[in-house]
Amino acid sequence: MFAAASAPATVANVGPGFDVFGFALEGPCDHVQVRRVSTPGVRLVGAVDPTLPRVVTKNVATAVALRMLRAVNARFGVEVTLTKGLPLGSGLGSSSASAVAATVAMHRLLGERFTDDELLDFARFGEKVACGAAHADNVAPALFGGFTLVRGGSPVEIIRIDVPKNWRVVVVHPHLELPTKKARAALPLSVALRTMTANVANAASLIAALYKKDLALFGRALMGDAIVTPVRKRLIPGCDVAMRAAIQAGAAGVSISGAGPSIFALTDSDAHAKLVARRIAAVWRRHGIKTDVFVSRIGARGALQRR
């Protein structure tokens, strides 16, 4: 008996929404297949990127599968095949995509018996295995799709918000190494109350912009992050110039995806998105850095909506 699932790349943080906002992307996916076997426990089968752990409790996909088997007191086991479509360390939610694909594949294998809250918890457990913290800002959009807001609470409350269908996001992944841990360590431990107020105002404005279908306001709000983006920008060679090139090419806004180094920019058409993508890629090319580029709508389908 087999089951499988695909989970998309995601953009988290989204300017002032550090650890709160995220959205799903069309394009690259992680794919997990699970096969029921009579021997209890979990085994990782097939080829895997050599930089990923193969130990069952340390690999995101197998760790999630093991936890879900235990949750149902299964007497059988599973073989897990993980096919990475997402680049590692790109800031596009690579570990979340693996965790979510494993969660949904197992959910299907086990007869779809879990609630949305339970699925989110399994996926967050995978995120914790990967990076030490059970953040939901990438796993929520990878699981449910769309644009998501992690309100917090217990169980963690996820709020889904529709995005205008014609909005486009340009994602550019420069081939640079930027470990998430380094990007996190660069952040301040505390912020001035005034600065916090600016981020609260811009995060709230960004949500209003989604409902008002006001891309220009979304762009202003996106770029109003006074705390995280300015710090992380400095860790990514060429980032500041690339971001300015996006704005000069007419993007409504530009910011860093997750912890970086990928950046994303907003436009209201495919044609404009492709122009912006070329301008951003050209900046990194001048720095001798290769890039992957793709254009997507904001808020694609999540793993639960994909077959």
Q: Which stretch binds its own copies (CB under 8 A): 57-65, 70-78, 205-213, 279-287?
A: 205-213
Q: Does 221 bind its own copies (CB under 8 A)?
A: yes
Residue 180 as a binder of its own copies (CB under 8 A): the answer is: no
Q: Which is nearer to its own copies, 119 or 206 (CB)?
A: 206
Does 196 bind its own copies (CB under 8 A)? Our answer is: yes
Instruction: Give me the DSSP letters along 107-125.
Output: HHHTTS---HHHHHHHHHH
Q: What amino acid is encoded at 123 in this protein?
A: A
Burial class from Cβ neighbours inside 10 Å (0-12, 13-18, 19+) for residue 274 reads middle
Q: What is the β-pairing status of strands 41-45 and 77-83?
A: parallel
229, containing H or E segment: helix 228-233
Q: Measured between alpha carbons, how far is 197 from 277 in angstroms, rounded to an integer?
A: 32
**20 is a site residue for its own copies (CB under 8 A):** yes
Does position 186 interact with its own copies (CB under 8 A)? The reply is: no
Contacts with its own copies by CB under 8 A: the residue count is: 40
* 235 counts as binding its own copies under rule CB under 8 A: no
Q: Considering the candidates 180, 229, 267, 291, report the single residue annotated as catalytic.
A: 180
Q: From the list 149, 276, 298, 300, which residue makes contact with its own copies (rule: CB under 8 A)?
A: 149
Contact call for residues 86 and 75 (beta carbons, < 8 A):
no
Q: Per CB under 8 A, does 193 bind its own copies?
A: yes
Is the CB of 158 or the CB of 251 nearer to its own copies? Answer: 158
Least Cβ distance, residue 176 to its own copies (angstroms):
25
**Does 83 qualify as catalytic in the annotation?**
no
Q: Which CB, 90 or 202, lies closer to its own copies?
A: 202
Q: C-beta of 165: minimal distance to its own copies in Å? A: 17
Distance (Å, whole) CA 295 – CA 172: 9
> 266, 69, 301, 281: which is closest to 175 by C-alpha?
281
Candidate segments 101-109, 168-176, 216-224, 246-254, binder of its own copies by CB under 8 A? 216-224
Count of other CB atoms within 10 angstroms of residue 133: 11
Would you call 112 a catalytic residue per the annotation?
no
Contacts of 67 (CB under 8 A, 6+ apart): 122, 125
User: Looking at 57-65, 96-104, 113-121, 183-191, which segment touches its own copies (CB under 8 A)?
Assistant: 183-191
From 85-93, 172-180, 195-203, 297-305, give the range in contact with its own copies by CB under 8 A: 195-203
Q: Which two tokens stand for residue 236?
A: 């990514």
- Give the 3-state secondary structure of residue 144: helix
User: Which one from 83, 127, 148, 267 is the annotated catalytic residue?
Assistant: 127
Q: Residue 175: which of 54, 288, 264, 75 has the closest Cα?
A: 288
206 near its own copies (CB under 8 A)? yes
Residues 159-178 that bind its own copies (CB under 8 A): 159, 161
Of the candidates 131, 230, 243, the one whose C-alpha atom is nearest the C-alpha of residue 188 is: 230
Q: The dihedral of CA 54, 57, 62, 63: what is its sign?
A: negative
Return the active site residues: 127, 180
The residue ranges that bind its own copies (CB under 8 A) are: 16-21, 149-153, 157, 159, 161, 187-193, 196-208, 211, 217, 220-221, 224, 227
